Chains A and B, each alone.
Chain A
Amino acid sequence: MSTISTADFYKGIFVVFKNEPHQVVEFQHVNPGKGSAFVRTRLKALKTGKVQEFTYKAGDSVEELPVETHEMQYLYPEGDAFVFMDNFNYEQASVPKMLLGNFVKYLKINDTYQVLLHEGEAVGIRIPKKIRLKVVEADEGARGNTVSGGTKTVVVETGAKVTVPLFIKEGEMIAVDPETGSYVERA
């Protein structure tokens, strides 16, 4: 285990918080009015999936949790988890649903993901910046939603709903940012 500072934080880093393994799912620098600098984080407990906020003093030292990255193929859901397999050594890993958050909506069977392991246990997957998904349901809807100006909602192959420009048609591939769930481009 190595000691880092809040300056080394990035989204998705694994740390020890109150003696338990956590993942930093969000962090933001905050300066209270006329005060020194702090880092506000949202920490997800790996054992329970519970998310809580904690604000560190900027520069506080924190224990980083070492994780390994393995390329694995997503096979099938099983209860409250997803089963992945390493295609080189056929080892399997089960990633609890609660650790994937919104990404669950975009998981595609047979696709390869980077699974993160800590001491042999799956603690999450590296969320890609964008993912390619096929549009399976799209209305022609020429008028669209006038409030947001020229958009409509379509359904992609994993069942998730995505807001896209009016020109997107059924059967097309689109790129989606899984972080925000928003449409990026035609893919």
Chain B
Amino acid sequence: MNTWHTLKDNPGLWRRYFLRERVIRQIRLFFETRGFHEVETPILIGHPAAESYLDVFETTLLDRNRKPTKMYLSTSPEVALKKCMVAGIGNCFALTKSFRNTEVGDSLHNPEFTILEWYQVEATYTTIMEECEQLILHLLKTTLSERNRTDHHQQGLALNPQTLSYQDKHIDFSRPWKRLSVKTAFSNFAHIDFEEFLDLKKARAIAKSRGYVVAGSTTWEEIYNQIFLNEVEPHINMAKPVFLYDFPKAVGALAKTKKDDPRFVERFELYIAGLELADCYTELTDWKEQKMRFDDQLKEIKRLGKTPYVYDHDFISALKAGLPDCAGIAVGIDRLLMLLLNSTDIKDTMLFPAEECM
């Protein structure tokens, strides 16, 4: 049964979707009171950022003579926001739809999803950790209706705006949240010495000895993530939100290298009750480094047989003109709603999940 039909028969369920409405409104309010500008970023773009781990949607723009130009649906508002930062907008955010192809058929993804990104001038990832705590606490306080609270309460939760139950877990949101470095996490949970593990040869040997398939083409990133998913992620503390921080450079994406240890970048991911909700960097401002990473990513896109494109060279020009020192974060709003709704399926948060639009 499609969602509209279920709702017609069961009006009590509207509260799920009205929660989204309140969350969106409160996010805007939160940033407005902090003096952030909201940017309407483009969804239809000719040149995405080069990101090999994503598959883009491709479409065709026709001019009046029906002459075709390839266009794509934006996978995140990041590049547009950074161009605005270069132009001098100051602190800013976007709350928009983004699109990622192939991300279909599981409970944590929808190919069209709602993303919040915000960027703050002269900030680093540690500043953003604090803002993240404040934003989510603000949402807990302002968006859960009595009914939502009652639902949580029925699962044994005290009506305290700093706690929430998700499935069988009780999460304590009081500040400060847990901060855990990738290196410590690997050492504590997988008993891996990260210094050793950073070396590709040694990493391959460690993975093999633990029974993982290691082929000639297996990359360090694959080994890292497979061990992370099997041996680290399941043990990340569920009783408090956790900032997992300082990622190895190979999974550094657009993050700035750490000054005191160039093998790592200033990046964190936010985990709440096992859900990965947000990804933040102190932003890379060096255009040469950015161009090099994009070129590598593009090679990887071709090797993997994903939809190819010409990446956004205008973004490189913008970086040349000078991106101010800043940090930024992307938050998956649909997943955040899963948490607030105590749901295990992202479709529960959407009036029109992709499967119902096909």
Contacts and interface: CB of A to CB of B under 8 A. Distances in A.
Contacts of A29: 103, 105-106, 109
Contacts of B142: none
A57 B218 contact: yes
Nearest to A148: B12
12 contacts: A18-B211, A29-B103, A31-B103, A32-B225, A32-B228, A33-B279, A34-B252, A35-B221, A35-B224, A36-B221, A56-B226, A57-B226
B213 interface: yes
Contacts of A33: 269, 276, 279
A146 B12 contact: yes
Nearest to A60: B213
Given A36-B222, A57-B218, A149 B230 contact: no
B279 A147 contact: no
A60 B253 CA distance: 24
A149 B105 contact: no
Given A34-B53, A36-B53, A148-B12, A28 B229 contact: no
A38 interface: yes
B230 A54 contact: yes
B12 A147 contact: yes
Interface string B230-259: 100010000000000000000111000000
Interface in B263-288: 269, 276, 279
A150 interface: yes
Interface string B9-22: 11111000000000
B107 interface: yes
Interface residues of B, number: 35
Given A57-B222, A146-B12, A38 B269 contact: no
| Most B-side CB within 10 Å, residue of A33, A36, A55, A146 | A33
Contact of A38 (B151, B229, B234, B279): B229
Interface in B123-161: 150-151, 154
A132 interface: no
Contacts of B198: none
Contact of A35 (B9, B10, B251): B251
Contacts, number: 70
Nearest to B211: A18
A69 interface: no
Interface string A32-64: 111111101000000000000111110011000
A175 interface: no
Given A30-B229, A32-B229, A147 B218 contact: no
Contacts of A150: 9-10
Nearest to A55: B229
B175 to A, nearest CB: 23
Contacts of B103: 29, 31
B108 interface: yes
Contact of A34 (B10, B218, B279): B279
Interface in A6-39: 18, 28-38
B106 A149 contact: no
A89 B10 CA distance: 50
B214 to A, nearest CB: 10
A149 B53 contact: no
B108 A55 contact: no
Given A32-B228, A34-B253, A55-B230, A147 B108 contact: no
A147 B151 contact: yes
A55 B106 contact: no
Contacts of A53: 230, 234
Contacts of B222: 36, 57
A51 B51 CA distance: 35
B11 A149 contact: yes
Contacts of B211: 18
Given A147-B154, A149-B12, A34 B251 contact: yes
B55 to A, nearest CB: 10
A149 B213 contact: no
The 7 A-B residue pairs with the shortest CB-CB distance, nearest first, are: A149-B12, A55-B229, A34-B253, A35-B225, A149-B10, A28-B106, A33-B279
A145 to B, nearest CB: 10
Given A56-B213, A149-B10, 6 more contacts: A35-B53, A35-B251, A36-B222, A54-B230, A55-B226, A148-B12
A37 B279 CA distance: 17
A152 to B, nearest CB: 14
